[in-house]
Amino acid sequence: MRKIGILTSGGDCSGMNAAIRSAVRSGLRNNVEMVGFRKGYVGLMKPDYITLDSKAVSGILHRGGTFLQSARSPEFRTIEGQQQALANLKNLGVEGLIILGGDGSLTGALALHNLGFPVIGIPASIDNDIPFTDMALGVDTALNNIIYAVDCIKDTASSHARAFVIEVMGRNSGYLASISAIAAGAEYALVPERDFDLSEICQQLRARYEEGRDNAIIILAEGAGNAHQIADSIKDAIGFETRVTVLGHYQRGGAPTVFDRLLASRLGKNAVDLLLKGEKGLMVGLSNNSIITTSLEDVVKGEKKPHDEMLRLAEVLGI
Q: Which residues are tagged catalytic?
A: 127
Q: Could you give the CA distance from residue 222 to residue 191 in angstroms, rounded to a whole number?
A: 8
Buried-exposed string 202-225: b where 16+ CB fall within 10 A, e elsewhere: beebeebbeeeeebbbbbbbbbbb
| Shortest CB 172 distance to ligand F6P, Å | 9
Q: How far apart are the C-alpha atoms of 103 and 139, rounded to whole Å?
A: 14
- Looking at beta carbons only, is 65 or 268 nearer to ligand F6P? 65
Query: 3-state DSSP call for residue 165?
Result: strand
CA distance 106 to 101: 6
Cβ count near 52 (within 10 Å): 24
Min. distance of Cβ 151 from ligand F6P in angstroms?
21
Nearest-angstrom CA–CA distance, 61 and 255: 9
Minimum CB distance to ligand F6P smaller for 25 or for 38: 38
Conformation bin of residue 168: beta by default, left when phi > 0, alpha when psi is -120 to 50: beta
Closest approach of Cβ 110 to ligand F6P, in Å?
18
Contact range with ligand F6P by CB under 6 A, out of 15-23, 120-128, 202-210, 302-310: 120-128
User: CB atoms < 10 A from the CB of 286, how many?
Assistant: 18
- Annotated binding residue at 180? no
Determine the Cα–Cα distance for residues 193 and 2; give it in Å rounded to an integer: 46
Q: What is the rounded distance in angstroms from the CA atom of residue 118 to the CA atom of residue 176?
A: 33
**What is the per-residue binding string for ligand F6P in 152-191, x denoting contact by CB under 6 A?**
-----------------xxx--------------------
> Does residue 252 have a known ligand-binding role?
yes
Was 73 annotated as part of a binding site? yes
What is the distance between the alpha carbons of residues 76 and 88, in angstroms, rounded to a whole number? 13
154 is annotated as contributing to ligand binding: yes
Give which of 165, 75, 67, 155 is closest to 111, Cα–Cα.
Answer: 75
8 strand-pairing partners = 100
Q: Does 102 bind ligand F6P (CB under 6 A)?
A: yes
Q: By C-beta, is 127 or 187 nearer to ligand F6P?
A: 127
Residue 186 annotated in ligand binding: yes
Q: Is 65 annotated as a binding residue?
A: no
Smaller CB distance to ligand F6P: residue 109 or 157? 109
Q: How far is the CB of 98 from ligand F6P (least distance, A)?
A: 19
Residue whose CB is less far from ligand F6P, 178 or 270: 178
Work out whether 14 is an interface residue with ligand F6P (CB under 6 A).
no
Residue 312 is assigned to a ligand binding site? no
Question: CA 92 to CA 72: how far, in whole Å?
Answer: 23
- Consult the annotation and say whether 29 binds a ligand: no
Stretch that binds ligand F6P, among 28-36, 124-132, 237-245, 280-288 (CB under 6 A): 124-132
Residues 240-269 that bind ligand F6P (CB under 6 A): 252
**In a 3-state reduction of DSSP, which class is residue 7?**
strand
Closer by beta carbon to ligand F6P, 13 or else 275: 13
Tell me if 125 contacts ligand F6P by CB under 6 A: yes
3-state secondary structure of 201: helix
Q: Which of 11, 174, 225, 285 binds ligand F6P (CB under 6 A)?
A: 11
User: Please, are residues 16 and 100 in contact by the beta-carbon 8 Å criterion?
Assistant: yes
Q: How far is the CB of 70 from ligand F6P (least distance, A)?
A: 9
Which residue ranges are tagged as binding site for ADP?
21-25, 154, 185-187
Annotated binding residues for ATP: 11, 72-73, 102-105
Binding site for ligand F6P (CB under 6 A): 11, 102, 125-127, 169-171, 222, 252
